[in-house]
Amino acid sequence: MPIISFIGIYLLLLSSIIGYGYFFANNISTYNKNANIGYLGIYGIFILTLISYLTNLILPHNFIHNYIVIFLGLFFFVKYIFTIKKIKKDLDIKLLLFFIVISLFAIFYFKNHDDFPYYHLSFMHNITLNKVEFGLGNFDLAYNHVSSLFFFHSLFKLPFTGDYFYFIGPASILIFINMILIKNIYQIDKEKNLNFVKFLSLFIFIFINVFFYRLAEHGTDRSAIIIIFLIILLMFQILENKVLDRIKFENFIILLTLVVSIKSFYAIYAFLFFIIYFKFFSIKKIFLFINEYKIIHLSIAFCLLIFFYNIAYTGCLVYPVVSTCFENAFWAMDMSRIEMAMNWYELWSKSGANPNYRVDNPDYYIQGFNWIHNWFDNYFFNKVSDAILGLITIIIITIIILRPRKIIFKYSNAFNVIFIALIIYFFEWFYNHPALRYGGYHLLALSFFIPTAILLSGQKFKFSKYKRQVHLLIIISIIIFTTRNINRINNEVENYNYNFVKSPTYRIQPDFYKLKKNKDKVFSKTDNCKLEVKSSKNCKEIKGYTFFYKKDF
């Protein structure tokens, strides 16, 4: 596929996502009829993921299905364009085009995420071949980790895209949230000062573009982390006011639903909803709340579908949490296997195992804080320490450019509940899965950014006087984003003979389809399993039943 075709398809897919966002804003949303393109993109991801969950109940996401979905989005996008009076002068369109151009430096890569061939591709490939299936987790690890990103990506497999545009989720999340952050920074309030929210938006913008520059490394973790940053930012904006901002609250619900759906352990962030709810509502007003906020209906449906697919694939509401699993379901995975997986992920995150190493007594190692010494030696140095050094560098450069003159730490008391929640999440992360990619990046970054943003907001910097300094910080972060990606592309050209002009798509191992294609087919109940194939992956005994794949290897 030549580079021109590749970029053209990329633009079409982004346009379709925005089109669905426009449809959502004008036909479903209660309070966000005039949302900017950044939020339209988030709405598009939300509604497309919901469509994917619903249609896979009865249909595989084959070419016909996906053609209909994509072209409907393009139709909505054309309708959206006609609502813009002067496209050339529209700031949202200019901002969108700018970040699309910047993203071009990130979408060209040869080496994908390590988990992509491991299980991401298998899961997405199966959705395009089959409707929902029960018990697939028994056959392959690929089907244990249900993620909304996989269902979202499955909608973009077409004859002219193949399996080569599954970067569209991380790329679109990065583009749209960058746009939202920039709008936050440059939106002039009544005081016309650089306030706490503007500084925190600026720090988050710098962080995600400097630290998360490599799109291939996003997987399912970093996309969720980027969204969590925006969720926390919205919480500060909502709680600082005595009257609930309905527009921001609706956006908060949408983003929170997306995060919970991306990876199982992010379900703990659902409790943030209750912080906002009980600030402005009482338990007695629950039904009035549900009637007023129509988005909550979709959010509940979304969550029920998440639980359904988790149960269908593994027999668990939240895999691999054993207490949420239904052992009596005949298709459910064996509890010992689920517990083994839980312990393995904990062992891995606590630096007790890697591809070339494993501690001698894993069960003892993960208990309490037995792991902490080894974790410090093998993970804190140099993974966490490098991250901390990078965060300190961002703060120092910002302070040098802005030159604060006073030390003032004044903030709304309403923020205290957010600080408490972040401390609890930090402890949960550190105790159970202390790897930065498993929900640690945003907690570590916010522990540095929030105090610094409070300090800088106390200076009462006038936006008009410090606009150039803000421009400079944003430009520096964009330059770092582009140069690091250019260096990465050069390395991939040298090491892998990657020719992004003639063939810009990432590599898929040639043996994937040979080994995986038939295995992904649906399995059925049968009376017995022949002895000679009992030990193979084509035939399994589960809870007294025997299952086999319809097609052999």
pLDDT at position 149, please? 96
* Residues in contact with 143: Cβ distance below 8 Å, sequence separation at least 6, in sequence order: 119, 122, 123, 126, 136, 137, 313, 314
The answer to whether residue 521 scores a pLDDT higher than 50 is: no
Strand order in the sheet with 523-526: 523-526, 545-549, 539-542
CA 278 vs CA 350, 417, 522: distances in Å: 35, 11, 45
The answer to whether residue 69 scores a pLDDT higher than 70 is: yes
Looking at the fold, whether 198 and 269 belong to one and the same domain comes out as yes
Looking at the fold, whether 246 and 313 belong to one and the same domain comes out as yes
Average pLDDT over residues 69-97: 88
CA 342 vs CA 114, 237, 349, 376, 476: distances in Å: 20, 36, 11, 22, 41
Looking at the fold, whether 203 and 143 belong to one and the same domain comes out as yes
Among the listed ranges 42-46, 81-85, 252-256, 400-404, which one has the minimum average pLDDT value?
81-85
Sorting pLDDT into bands at 50, 70 and 90, what band is 517?
Answer: very low
For residue 449, being part of any structural domain is answered with: no
pLDDT at position 389, please? 97
pLDDT at position 128, please? 93
Q: pLDDT digit string (tens) for 43-62?
A: 999 999 999 999 999 999 99
pLDDT at position 204, please? 98
Looking at the fold, whether 167 and 87 belong to one and the same domain comes out as yes
For residue 170, being part of any structural domain is answered with: yes
Q: pLDDT digit string (tens) for 132-186?
A: 989 888 877 778 889 999 999 999 999 999 999 999 999 999 999 999 999 999 9
The count of structural domains within the chain is 2
Average pLDDT over residues 316-345: 89
Looking at the fold, whether 537 and 486 belong to one and the same domain comes out as no
* Residues in contact with 368: Cβ distance below 8 Å, sequence separation at least 6, in sequence order: none
**pTM summary value:** 0.91
| 410 membership: H or E segment, kind and range | none
Sorting pLDDT into bands at 50, 70 and 90, what band is 531?
Answer: very low
For residue 513, being part of any structural domain is answered with: no
For residue 402, being part of any structural domain is answered with: no
In 3-state terms the chain splits into helix, strand, coil percentages (rounded to 5) of 65, 5, 30
For residue 322, being part of any structural domain is answered with: yes
Looking at the fold, whether 153 and 214 belong to one and the same domain comes out as yes
Among the listed ranges 27-36, 233-242, 396-405, which one has the minimum average pLDDT value?
27-36
Looking at the fold, whether 255 and 309 belong to one and the same domain comes out as yes
Between 352 and 87, the more confident residue is 352
For residue 541, the enclosing domain spans 526-553
Looking at the fold, whether 12 and 57 belong to one and the same domain comes out as yes
For residue 262, being part of any structural domain is answered with: yes
> Do 552 and 521 meet the contact criterion of CB atoms below 8 Å apart?
no
pLDDT at position 58, please? 95
Looking at the fold, whether 491 and 538 belong to one and the same domain comes out as no
Q: Which amino acid is at 154?
A: S
Tokens for 303, please give them: 């969550």
Q: pLDDT digit string (tens) for 96-110?
A: 999 999 999 999 999
pLDDT at position 387, please? 96
pLDDT at position 549, please? 46
Tokens for 465, please give them: 């006087």
For residue 427, being part of any structural domain is answered with: no
pLDDT at position 330, please? 83
Looking at the fold, whether 538 and 482 belong to one and the same domain comes out as no
Query: Mean pLDDT score of the chain, rounded to an integer?
Result: 89
> Do 227 and 255 meet the contact criterion of CB atoms below 8 Å apart?
yes
pLDDT at position 405, please? 87
For residue 378, being part of any structural domain is answered with: no
Three-state DSSP string of 183-248 = HHHHCCCCCCECCHHHHHHHHHHHHHHHHCCCHHHCCCHHHHHHHHHHHHHHHHHHHCCCCCCHHH
Q: pLDDT digit string (tens) for 264-312?
A: 889 999 999 999 999 999 888 888 888 888 899 999 999 999 999 999 9
Q: How far apart are CA 385 and CA 437, in angstroms?
A: 14
Q: How far apart are CA 336 and CA 111, in angstroms?
A: 35
Looking at the fold, whether 127 and 68 belong to one and the same domain comes out as yes
Alpha helices in 379-462 (DSSP H): 385-402, 416-432, 441-457
Q: Which amino acid is at 14?
A: L
* Total H helices, total E strands in the chain: 22, 5
CB atoms within 10 A of CB 462: 12
| 277 membership: H or E segment, kind and range | helix 272-280
